[in-house]
Amino acid sequence: MEKSLLRKVSDHEWHIRPHGAMRVPGVILATEKLIGEMDHKVYEQVVNVASLPGIVRGSYAMPDAHWGYGFPIGGVAAFDPAEGGVISAGGVGYDVSCGVRTLLTGLDASEIEPIRRELADLLFKRIPAGVGSTGRIRLSEPEMDAMLAGGASWAVGRGYGSPEDLARIEERGRMEGADPEQVSAQARKRQRDEMGTLGSGNHYLELQRVTSVVLPEVAAAFGIGVGDLLISIHCGSRGLGHQIATEFVRQMAIEASRHAIRLPDRELACAPINSDLGRSYLGAMRAAINCALANRQILTHLTREAFAEILPQANLRLLYDVSHNTCKVEDHVVDGTRRRLYIHRKGATRAFGPGHPDLPAEFRTIGQPVLIGGTMGTASYILVGTKDGEELSFSSSCHGAGRNMSRKQAIHQWKGREVVDYLDARGITVRSPSMRGVAEEAPGAYKDVSEVVEAADRAGISRIVARVEPMIVVKG
């Protein structure tokens, strides 16, 4: 991205002055180096989002921002229905409620070294992964409706986990306002056999070693220390979420002109929040959020079963579960007035600061755990939300490393088997059904996650708590 197009506010905040159809400024929270690595399309998409009706305060891009569908991945925007605000299926994304959950194990990472390959093989056997992967659960229509309405609460009620898990999940495991009737027969068909599966792309189950702690008091409150073994699961709403996005993007593109909405890009197809189509999409999207929450809950149960078989002394407790492709209704203070807004976070993580009433009691004085996935060959991070994030980014932070090249470019540069062997030599055991998929997700295809999270920390939208590194990766 050309820095001359931006106004530098600080070393970690850059603005795009409103021009043309923009209703609010663009705000990019990143270092100068990360700005230079962003493609120009990020600039264009931040500008385009800023032109949508009812947008409030700014069109934001997080430090890991890169070109996405309509919105940049790493894009955040708030809309007020009282001012004609819109909801955009592209602004939520195709993998609705894709997210990360991290589990504590009560083990030291060194305890798995003697059985690393055996454990990797068992997890790969028990966790369905890859394109078109299916699980052992097949949902009837009544059960599909119950899952779409109940989310992780439904899963716990069916024996997949315990009620204690729910307090550590956004929305306490169930997104209110879901309307299963808005989920099409095709979306249901695609999901019928996919519950409890990782899927493909950048999804994974990863065993991680905590290598450093930056904020000891926060880390202790989160239950983590140097040397601990953690487990992170990254996946979303699978075929159901993708189908919902596909259908509503098409409908919104047709409907926009009927509401006199001028789209700078067809991918920004949207509908007024208070329209029939807007309400239908909200109902379907919230059902997809519940699908993702239920999916990660089932995967947690499968992981616990595997550990009980080979490491029965482990105690797999949920640290937290966060989503990064959503639109949620939240109260935020804008110009001194508290307003109820619809916050789009596409490839961006909610990061509530201390004192927020939606946090579990044990985190309320500390802030929300923010889980940032890296790559299978680098680090991941645990951060915590800040008070300042409310004003800086509507309590939002980055979500991962962010790609710096396309999957097509990656497979021309790397071979999957070479990546697996290279990582194995470094002590990282990878299991995947697809060597092509491994090549697409080669660590070199991503930005430096450490620089991304340091930018988020310095910008004040979240603070680094701990760094973790992969030991075993089950890749989709």
∠ CA 313-315-318, rounded to 5°: 165
Q: In angstroms, rounded to a whole number, what is the distance separating the alpha carbons of residues 320 and 169? A: 6
- Residue 361 φ/ψ, nearest 5 degrees: -55, -40
Give the per-residue pLDDT at 404: 86
Question: If phi over 0 gives left and psi between -120 and 50 gives alpha, with beta otherwise, what is residue 263?
Answer: beta
Q: In angstroms, rounded to a whole number, what is the distance separating the alpha carbons of residues 48 and 265? A: 7
- Residue 95 φ/ψ, nearest 5 degrees: -95, 80
Give the pairing of strands 380-385 and 429-431: unpaired
Q: Say which DSSP state 261 is in.
A: P
Give the per-residue pLDDT at 345: 98
- What are the percentages of helix, strand and coil residues in the chain, rounded to 5? 40, 25, 35
Closest-CA residue to 232 (of 209, 211, 199):
209
The dihedral through the CA atoms of 223, 226, 229, 231 has a sign that is: positive
Beta carbons of 40 and 3 less than 8 angstroms apart: no
In the residue annotation, 332 being an active-site residue is answered as no
Q: In angstroms, rounded to a whole number, what is the distance separating the alpha carbons of residues 347 and 140? A: 32
- Run of H or E residues at 207: strand 204-213
In the chain (476 residues long), the average pLDDT of successive 10-residue segments reads: 95 97 98 94 98 98 96 98 97 97 98 97 93 86 98 97 96 98 97 93 95 98 98 96 97 94 94 98 98 98 97 97 97 96 98 96 97 94 98 97 89 94 95 93 92 97 98 94
Give Cβ neighbours of residue 333 (< 8 Å, ≥ 6 apart).
339, 390, 391
Beta strands (DSSP E) in 300-368 are 317-323, 325-334, 337-346, 349-350
For the question of whether the overall pTM of this predicted structure is more than 0.85, the answer is yes
- Run of H or E residues at 16: strand 13-16
For the record, the structure tokens of 144 come out as: 């599909």
Question: If phi over 0 gives left and psi between -120 and 50 gives alpha, with beta otherwise, what is residue 83?
Answer: alpha
- Run of H or E residues at 456: helix 449-459
Would you call 3 helix, strand, or coil by DSSP? helix
Beta carbons of 462 and 389 less than 8 angstroms apart: yes
Q: In angstroms, rounded to a whole number, what is the distance separating the alpha carbons of residues 158 and 143? A: 10
Give the per-residue pLDDT at 131: 81
Structural domain boundaries in the chain: 3-404+446-475
Q: Say which DSSP state 447 is in.
A: -
- Run of H or E residues at 150: helix 141-157
Number of C-beta neighbours around residue 265 at 10 A = 16
CA distances from 155 to 132, 180, 239, 289, 329 (A): 22, 16, 18, 13, 24
Residues in a beta bridge with 212: 467
Which is catalytic among the residues 66, 234, 301, 399? 399
Beta carbons of 135 and 275 less than 8 angstroms apart: no
Q: In angstroms, rounded to a whole number, what is the distance separating the alpha carbons of residues 126 and 225? A: 28
- Residue 181 φ/ψ, nearest 5 degrees: -65, -20
Count of helices and strands (H, E) across the chain: 15, 19
For the record, the structure tokens of 72 come out as: 């940049």
Would you call 284 helix, strand, or coil by DSSP? helix
Class of domain 3-404+446-475: alpha beta
Question: If phi over 0 gives left and psi between -120 and 50 gives alpha, with beta otherwise, what is residue 196?
Answer: left
CA dihedral 65→67→70→74, nearest 10 degrees, is -10
